[in-house]
Amino acid sequence: MRVMRTCKEMGIKTVAVYSTADKESLHVRFADEAVCIGPPAGKDSYLNIKSIMAAAEITNADAIHPGYGFLSENAEFAEICADYKIKFIGPSPEQIRQMGDKITAKETMVAAKVPVVPGSGGLITDIKAAKKVAKEIGYPVILKATAGGGGKGMRVVNNESEFQKAFETAQMEAGASFGNDGIYMEKFIEEPRHIEIQVAGDQYGGACHLSERDCSIQRRHQKLVEECPSPFMDSKLRKRMGAAAIKATKFINYEGVGTVEFLVDKHKNFYFMEMNTRIQVEHPVTEESMDFDLIKEQIKIAAGEKITGKEYLPRLHSIECRINAEDPDKGFMPSPGKIETFYTPKGHGVRIETHAYSGYTISPFYDSMIAKVITYGRTREEAIAIMKRALDEFIVVGIKTTIPFHRKLMDHPDFISGNFDTKFLEKEKLV
């Protein structure tokens, strides 16, 4: 729906694809045409490249917008689109691959002179050698899966006696989750903030950045709240991080919008973590803060337009709360089912993204996010005040949601002061 809104504004006709589980979803009604691509399970529909290509062929589509999740960072899919002469709205298969493998991504950033966390500098093949490097950089260290991202196959190692076992578990978890058990090591950055820079690059090597998003409020590597600008940011740090992100973008001739993720320590040192080669869930805070349509930019870049190359700075403060069909009182257990009443907040400073409505059934097959509440104001205080009243105004009857969790978070002194890092939700008894 987000993509189709911009397409309509640009005079572009749209085709929705849907699984049988999503027959009643709003995106099916919003599109000019809709094609059913299979049964509920992802592998049979939204991950089924053959069905999707068939839908594109029969509707004579010029381009595919991959959204986020599913095939949005699948190099093989981008390759098949190219074979079919259908424009994949996003980077090239090579660029997706280069950033998809985390060791390759890190090596690329070293070559681009973007700061990275010191570590094994590649795959760990010899535990004895890795332990020696760990001693040099100093414990704690963190082991990560090269095929990973988002926390799976990650282990923190506090001292040498823990190394062997941590390495074996990380390797096993990575092998089971990704079919690739490659592990690398980094110095563990204590109490980091997760700050990411939104970038855009065109087909001619031009690139710009659109400031940052702070995504430090996470639970088990799932982001819950994002904001732009970061309360931790100052114009000097933004210049340094922005320049590093543009260096990364230009170095790989990146085409499309993307995100360069950094870990930032309390001394404002920043380190490249990963690059996301898709539009992200949290993109609306950038759009509202900067008054800039990122989907329009994606489509223009895909159509061969040049970006203007200027730097975009935050004008308003914007915050997003992800509303999930989960019960925060029961460890965020999924809560699918029929929504009897769904009334979304409205009014000045509020933007809602959702596919749900009164009478809609949240299926258990997919991600539990059912809505995003985005607020914006002239200051962070104003954005928080609007968020509080918006969350109070949101009525969902029939399923449990994370709305009460967000409402409590908005009253937490450390959230209000901006004094939080990625450990915040583990330390606080909010969840």
> What is the set of active-site residues?
278
Span 321-340, contacts to ligand MV4 by CB under 6 A: none
Beta bridge partners of 90: none
d(C-alpha 23, C-alpha 365), whole Å: 13
Does residue 140 have a cis peptide bond before it, meaning omega lies within 30 degrees of 0? yes
The residue among 273 and 294 lying less far from ligand MV4, judged by its C-beta, is 273
Say how far apart CA 422 and CA 194 lie, in whole Å: 7
Distance separating alpha carbons of residues 26 and 30, to the nearest angstrom: 6
Residue among 97, 106, 155, 194 that touches ligand MV4 (CB under 6 A):
194
Stretch that binds ligand MV4, among 11-19, 79-87, 189-197, 323-331 (CB under 6 A): 189-197
**Contact string 44-83 vs ligand MV4 (x = CB under 6 A):** ----------------------------------------
Least distance in Å: CB of 259 to ligand MV4? 12
Rg (CA), the chain: 22
SS3 track for 254-298: CCEEEEEEEEECCCCCEEEEEEECCCCCCHHHHHHHHCCCHHHHH
- 56 contact partners, CB below 8 Å, separation of at least 6: 15, 64, 84, 86
For ligand MV4, which residue of 188, 254, 332, 342 counts as binding (CB under 6 A)? 188
Q: Which is nearer to ligand MV4, 218 or 286 (CB)?
A: 218
Q: Residues 67, 93, 153, 192: which binds ligand MV4 (CB under 6 A)? A: 192
At 223, give phi and psi (nearest 5°): -70, 140
Q: Which of 91, 93, 149, 153 binds ligand MV4 (CB under 6 A)?
A: 149
According to the binding rule CB under 6 A, does residue 113 interact with ligand MV4? Answer: no
By CB under 6 A, is residue 266 in contact with ligand MV4? no
Q: Which residues contact 287 (CB under 8 A, 6 or more apart)?
A: 293, 294
Residue 237 C-beta: closest distance to ligand MV4, Å: 17
**Interacting residue with ligand MV4 among 113, 165, 221, 306 (CB under 6 A):** 221
Residue from 7, 166, 207, 263 binding ligand MV4 (CB under 6 A): 263
Upstream peptide bond of 229 is cis (omega within 30 degrees of 0): yes
# residues contacting ligand MV4 (CB under 6 A): 17
Minimum CB separation of residue 145 from ligand MV4 in Å reads 10
In the Cβ-directed half-sphere of 31, how many Cα atoms lie within 13 Å?
Answer: 19
State the minimum distance, in angstroms, from the CB of residue 429 to ligand MV4.
18
* Cβ 19 vs Cβ 37: under 8 Å: yes
Task: Report 114-143 residues binding ligand MV4 (CB under 6 A).
Answer: 117, 142
372 to 431, contacts with ligand MV4 by CB under 6 A? Answer: 422
Cβ nearer to ligand MV4, comparing 202 with 226:
226
Contact 7, 26 (CB under 8 A): no
Q: At what angle are helices 127-137 and 160-178 packed, to 10 degrees?
A: 120
Nearer to ligand MV4, 65 or 194 (CB): 194
Cβ-contact 139, 163 below 8 angstroms: no
Residues that bind ligand MV4 (CB under 6 A): 117, 142, 149-151, 186-189, 192, 194, 218, 221, 263, 273-274, 422
